[in-house]
Each structure stands twice: as structure tokens, then as C-alpha cells.
Amino acid sequence: MLETLRRNAGGWGIKIAFGIIIVVFVFAFGMGSFTDKKEPIVAYVGGEAISARDFQKAYEDAITAMRRQNPGVSAEDLNTPQFKQAVLGQLVNTKLMLGAAQKMGITVSLAELRAVISSIPAFHNAQNAFDPGIYKNALAQNHTTPQRFESELKDSQIIQKLQGFTTISALLSEPEAKGLYQWVRETVRMDYVLFPAKNFEAQVKPTDKQVADQYEATKDKYKDPARIRLEYLPITVADLAATIKISDDDAKKNYEANVDSFRHPAQMQARHILLPVQPSAPQDVADKVLTQARDIQAQLKKGASFEALAKKYSQDPTTAQNGGELPWFTQGAMVKPFEEAALALKPGQVSDPVRTQFGWHLIKLVGNRPAGTVPFEQVKDELKKRLAEEKASEKSNEILDQSMDQIAAGVKLAKIAQGLGLAVKKSEMMDQQQVQRLFGLKKEAVDTLFALPPGSGAKTPLAMEPARGYLLAEKIEGTPESILPLDKVRDKVVAEVKSIEARKLAMEKAQKVLADLQNPETAAQALASVKAEFKTTPPLDRQAAVAQTGGNPQLLMAIFAAPDKNWLKQPYEIPAGVALARLAERIPASDANWEQEKRVWISQGARAFSQELFNSLMTNLRESVKVEIVRQDLLN
């Protein structure tokens, strides 16, 4: 045990410490085991359980981590089923990796663990030395214990070792890295002639047979969806919390008992204007964006409003519309170049352009807030709300337990609600999308409701997001899915036939023109006939070429592989119609830029190779260990 480290500890900065662990493996927390037989199980990994409590703890840690990395992330984004699935996926991965590490004999000694904790700046005092008092208080403020924190940190360190051992051979030579650089940075200019499909639609006169045949071939597109009407009882934390009154005295007692959690370190607030630049961008691209940043800086020096210019120029989607305003943050929360620039400013001052991994920033310091304790009156309302929600969460569990016993005994929902002092509601007829939107249910839960016979109810509560609650429901009635008759959708089918036939005519025209372009005797005349449609693109790398080629992978590969400047041997379909293309110019990657960037490419290439090796390990682990999700509804 780490009694020497634990003996002394307190203060802020644990968020930074947790951030360090999360960098190693973002969602590696929350793997404790519980013996309560009533604890719901979310999944099994090779027979080892992941409980609902494990999952909830990991989910809360993941939310904290995401908000720390991206303060502007919305609650809706963090409440999606996809985010919860990602959290569970990481819990599964953690189980798999710890099992693999155990088989490989990978461990972390107490001395190693002590060294890691001692090196975390969040636990250092003013003399930059580990302070056990700061350590202990910091953990208490974040509702954890030294034993739990050290256990989770040990797991993350084992996983880090496992990653290191499995990727130790991931080296990239300079010639290999240069080959990758040349492939990525090569650009082309493309000549092309587009034959828009819409230009041929007027020539298409669909026959009744064509319309009927198209309807029969695609009638699944013209389905009238199944609908159901429900009797339901929503049990949400918010609804229950609204009925719970927390007195000022109770809130004050909680505040005083947890006053450490209301202490905050020194903070600062800033606005910024972000002009994105990829870390691996060529120097000329970075310089071009820097010039734009300096132009904005010049406008600021002439008295322009920082907020107005942030709204106009900043490309940070989470802050631009708020004039570039960032939440209050502590030292260590931002990337180092940004933080250093902000620390050097006085309130009201604006920095020179600052380059980070995200691009160029102009930073305006709004203000500083010294370390201290948030007064009770300032947090009273939020604290009362949180305490009410905690009681509501406990009450909701009691209601669910009581309700599920009655449902299992065949008691109807209306009687269950009456016994709880609650009222059931009845819906209108709704299709699946309407049910999903109204209740925030995942598709699997909606499918469960639609599969019920009329008069019967779901056997388990259905999780509602983002409402933080559960739905008890019975199906009153339903109508099955049906195919709309042709006379109801004839206009849509006719438009589809015209579009298909127009594309065929565009292809025929393109093929004829291509044949003439490839014939030396008719090439000049053919080119003159499409002069109005002939265009040449600016230089395109492979990513930009995807958009220019309409996402057609065959055209993209053909233009970059073209051995000469002759027209490509076939027309290519793109969303707008049919295109003929040829290579106009091939522009090799700059050797000068390679010399400036080769260290980055060697490093990034090796990192990508390491990730491929590690992904292979995870694939093998998943294939060799049975993973069973048993409560999909809890992930809704």
C-alpha cells in the first residue's frame, strides 16, 4: 500500500491528474466488483460481469473527461446511445486487456505506482514537491478514496505497459515515412467534362409499364409505417425531483459537510479566435493562416470588437457564436502554448497569434479569479437541485423495483400507477420515429414496444434519454406496416424513372463524346463541342479529390494512377451526372517541405503503425473471448 503517499494530501488539481490517467485509457475507471445479487448486469466478458454500477461510474467519468477536453460539449451529445455504447466498449476492452496482461505476466510494482503518483503535478505543493495532504483532499473532493484511485491507476499503468509491449516493434524507416509523405502530399489538376443528368430529363417520357415496373422493384421505399398507441408511465429523475423539497438547512448541512468540494483553485477566463491548421500541414499552409490571424490582430489594434471578430472569423464551433468565450479554467486545463500565452496577459489584453495542435489562436484574457471557496448562497439553488435529484434517483429505483414485481405478477399499468400515486398517460397513434423522439428510446426498445400484442406491456423498464429515466408502457392498439398503392405515390415513381433514364442518356452521350475524343481525327471537333462544359480543377490532394469526384472511388484512383494526360478510358458516374476526365498536371510533394517535416511524418507514421498493431491485438482478444451484452435497454 502507499501509506507514505497517503499520509499527507489535499487541494485542487485532481482533474488534471484524472486527465493524465484518461489519456492512457479514457474510460478505464469503474471496474470494481460488487456482490449485491440484485445489482443489474450490463454485460459479461468471458464470464466476468460488468455491473450497472460499474457502467454508471465509467459513464460519469467519461462525461467528466469529455467536458475537461471539450468544455463546450453539449449534454445531448453526452446522453446519446452511441456515447454510452462507446463507454461500454471501453469497459469491455479494459477487461480484455487486463486479462491479457495477467496472462503475459505484466504487473506494476508499488514502487512504480508510487513514482507515478508522486510525479503528478496536481499533487504538488508550491515547492513543486509531492504533498500527501493535497493528494488526500483532492481525492476526497472528487468522491473517491486512495485505495480506489490507486487501484484504477494501477490498472491504467498495466494497460499502458501492455500497449508498449505489443507495439515495441512499430518502427518506421525514413524511406517508408517519405513514401507515405509523397503519397499523401501529391496533388493533381484534373480536366473534366460533366454531363448533368437533369439536362436529359426533358427527353424522358416514362411509359405506364416503366412506372409500374419501377414501383414493383422499389415498393419497399413506399411503405406506410406501422403505428401504435400506448398507455405509459414515465419515471424520470427530473419529474420526481420536482416533487421533492430540500430545505435551506439541509442544503447548508450538506455544504458544510462537503465544503472542500466547493473550494476552487485560481482560475482565468478568456476569449479566443481559432483558425484551424492541421499539425502536419505544410509550412506554406500554416503561414497563410498565420497571415490571416495577423490581419485580424491588426483589426483589433484599430479598435475592432474581439467578440464581433470571433463571431465572424473563429472556426471553433463551440465558442464562435458566443464571441469566442471560454469557460473559466485552471492552470493545466489547456494545451501548453495556449496556457502560457494566457498567463502572460493582463485582463483586457490580446495575445499575438499562438500556434497549438488545433491551429492559430488569438487570445483575449477576460479576467482572473483567485483561489477560494464558493459561498453557500452562490451554490444553494444548484446544491438543492442536486440533492433533490439524488433523492429522486433513489426513489426512482424504489418505484422501479416495486413496479417490476407487480408487472411480473400480471398487474396492469393503470393499477400500478394508482398504487404509486401517479397517473398514466395515453399517446396518439405514432410510428417508430415518433415513439423514439417522444421518449428518447433506442431502436431496440422501440422494436420491443411494436412487437407487443395489443393489451400487453413491456416486461422491463425502457431507458429514456436524455431524460434520465425509465418508461413503463402497455400497447393499446397498433396498425401493421403496409405498402402505399401506386396511385398514392405515382408522382414520386415517375420522377424516379425520369432520373434513372436521364442518367442512362447522359452515359450514352458521354460514351459517344469519349469515343470522338480518343479518335485523333475527331478529337479537336469533339473537344470544341463540349467547350462550355470543359473545366480544370485547382490542385487537389486525395482528400479534396474525393469531393471533386463526387465520392466515386474508381474515378479517384484512376486519376491519381493515370500514366499520361490522355482521357480516362471510361465515363464515371457521379451524383450530378456522368463525367469524362483526364490528368491535366501531376504535382509531386515538395522535397523542401519533407526536410522540414520528416520528423513529424516518421513519428506519426510509427504511431499509426503502433495503433494498427494494437488494434490487431484487440481484434484477436475480442475473437477469443465471448462478450455478451445482456441489458441492451440500459444503454439506450
Exposed / middle / buried, residue 381 (Cβ in 10 Å: 0-12, 13-18, 19+): exposed
Most confident of 118-122, 516-520, 625-629: 516-520
Average pLDDT score over the chain: 84
Residue 608 lies in a domain: no
Give the span between the Cα atoms of 247 and 156, in whole angstroms: 42
Final residue in a domain of this structure, among 480, 510, 532: 480
Taking only the tens place, the pLDDT of each residue in 471-485 is 999 999 999 999 999
Residue 255 lies in a domain: no
**pLDDT at residue 117, as a whole number:** 87
Residue 469: φ, ψ to 5°? -165, -170
Domain CATH number, residue 474: 3.10.50
Q: Would you say 449 and 636 are in contact if contact means Cβ atoms under 8 Å apart?
A: no
Residue 378 lies in a domain: no
Taking only the tens place, the pLDDT of each residue in 369-422 is 888 888 899 889 988 988 998 888 888 888 888 888 888 888 999 999 998 888
Do 347 and 218 fall into the same domain?
no
**pLDDT at residue 483, as a whole number:** 93
Q: What would the mean pLDDT of 18-41 be, rounded to a whole number?
A: 39
Sort strands 577-587 and 572-574 into parallel, antiparallel or unpaired: antiparallel
Do 62 and 193 fall into the same domain?
no
Do 99 and 85 fall into the same domain?
yes
CA neighbor of 155 nearest in space, from 304, 33, 273: 33
**pLDDT at residue 373, as a whole number:** 86
**pLDDT at residue 75, as a whole number:** 63
CA-CA-CA-CA torsion sign (283, 289, 293, 294): positive
Residue 521 lies in a domain: yes
Count of Cβ atoms closer than 10 Å to residue 536 Cβ: 11
b/e map 393-432, b = 16+ CB within 10 Å? eebbeebbeebeebbeeeeebeebbeeeebebeebeebbb
**pLDDT at residue 635, as a whole number:** 67
Do 215 and 231 fall into the same domain?
no
Give the span between the Cα atoms of 39 and 29, in whole angstroms: 18
**pLDDT at residue 636, as a whole number:** 61
Do 34 and 65 fall into the same domain?
yes
Do 414 and 546 fall into the same domain?
no
Taking only the tens place, the pLDDT of each residue in 297-310 is 999 999 999 999 99
Do 42 and 149 fall into the same domain?
yes
CA neighbor of 321 nearest in space, from 274, 289, 268: 274
Residue with cell 468522491: 143
What are the C-alpha distances in Å from 219 to residues 214, 223, 484, 490? Answer: 8, 7, 8, 11
Do 16 and 142 fall into the same domain?
yes
Q: What would the mean pLDDT of 562-586 be, rounded to a whole number?
A: 94
Residue with cell 489584453: 349
Final residue in a domain of this structure, among 347, 370, 393: 370
Do 234 and 271 fall into the same domain?
no
Do 463 and 388 fall into the same domain?
yes
Who's near 630: CB < 8 A, 6+ residues apart? 41, 42, 43, 44
Domain enclosing residue 102, as ranges: 3-168+623-635
Which tops the pLDDT comparison, 470 or 78?
Answer: 470
Do 531 and 557 fall into the same domain?
yes
Taking only the tens place, the pLDDT of each residue in 199-245 is 999 999 999 999 999 999 999 889 999 999 999 999 888 888 888 99
Taking only the tens place, the pLDDT of each residue in 164-181 is 776 665 667 888 888 888
Residue 46 lies in a domain: yes
Residue 9 lies in a domain: yes
Q: What would the mean pLDDT of 31-54 be, rounded to a whole number?
A: 67
How many domains does the structure of the chain reveal? 4
Give the span between the Cα atoms of 527 and 192, in whole angstroms: 11
Residue 256 lies in a domain: no
Q: What would the mean pLDDT of 128-140 be, rounded to a whole number?
A: 80
CA neighbor of 471 nearest in space, from 242, 630, 245, 239: 239
The confidence band for 634, taking pLDDT boundaries of 50, 70 and 90, is: low
The alpha-carbon radius of gyration of the chain (Å, integer) is: 31
Dihedral, CA atoms, 192, 197, 199, 203, nearest 10 degrees?
Answer: 140
Final residue in a domain of this structure, among 451, 480, 509: 480
Count of Cβ atoms closer than 10 Å to residue 574 Cβ: 19
**pLDDT at residue 77, as a whole number:** 67
Residue 256 has pLDDT above 80, yes or no: yes
Do 38 and 16 fall into the same domain?
yes
Domain CATH number, residue 106: 1.10.4030.10
Q: What would the mean pLDDT of 266-279 be, rounded to a whole number?
A: 90
Residue 460 lies in a domain: yes
Q: Would you say 416 and 472 are in contact if contact means Cβ atoms under 8 Å apart?
A: yes
Q: Would you say 534 and 193 are in contact if contact means Cβ atoms under 8 Å apart?
A: yes
**pLDDT at residue 438, as a whole number:** 92
Helix pair 413-420, 376-408: axis angle to 10 deg: 140
